[in-house]
Amino acid sequence: LSTANVVDAYVRPSCEERDEAFAITHVPASGLSYPTHFVSHAWGNSFVDLVATLEDYFLGAAADDVYVWLDIFAVNQKAGRAMHDLENGAALAEVIDKSVACLVVLDRGMLPLTRLWCLFEVGSTPTEKLQLLIPPGMGDGEVVDAARRVDVDEALCFSPADREMIYAGIEEKFGSNKELTERLQ
């Protein structure tokens, strides 16, 4: 299942029923804390691969010291609520700012580097906090080549309202889509 499939089949129905983020209703209060790591990923990728990549990354870490911010669970996925919960990017910026790192989970197709949300998240993260998690066997050269092809204007975004909100955030923070594209490249 892709992450989008997991959202549609499991997460969204829970959010529709309770009108709260999945984590609020399904994680005991003792398991919630301010996130130590923000995760940027593409919903079109395999959810199992996402989880496996994060498990590998945190292997050996003390469970009590790791709190991962994963949008599908941290943001209310009820139709029309995600943008409201993200406060037009302000909440997202706060989570990234307070996290130790922004983990960008890449796949062989480099899908996150073609998604507007992911590009905005990566661009909004201080360079020293960025950590690219690449699939086994993938070389740095492949990542560099994919980064050179980044184009904010061509990036996919399925919600026109999200695109509008992200473009406004880009203009405010970077000046233009071109400026962000050049920064990301």
**What is the predicted pLDDT for the residue at 9?**
95
Q: Quick one: pLDDT at residue 91?
A: 76
Token digits of residue 88: 């037009």
**DSSP tag of 39:** E
Q: What is the mean pLDDT of residues 22-49?
A: 90
Give the pLDDT score at 41.
96
Q: What are the tokens at 6? A: 């997991």
Cβ distance 46 to 2 under 8 Å? yes
Position 31 confidence tier, pLDDT thresholds 50, 70, 90: confident
Spatial contact of 119 and 152, defined as CB atoms under 8 Å apart? yes
The answer, yes or no, to whether residue 72 has pLDDT greater than 90, is: yes
88-92, 124-128, 130-134: segment of lowest average pLDDT: 88-92
Compare 28 and 156 and report the one with higher pLDDT.
156
Instruction: Using pLDDT thresholds of 50, 70 and 90, give the confidence band for residue 86.
Output: low
Contact 76, 20 (CB under 8 A): yes
Tokens read off for 13: 């129905």
Contact of 170 with 181, CB cutoff 8 Å: no
**Residue 171: Cβ within 10 Å count:** 13
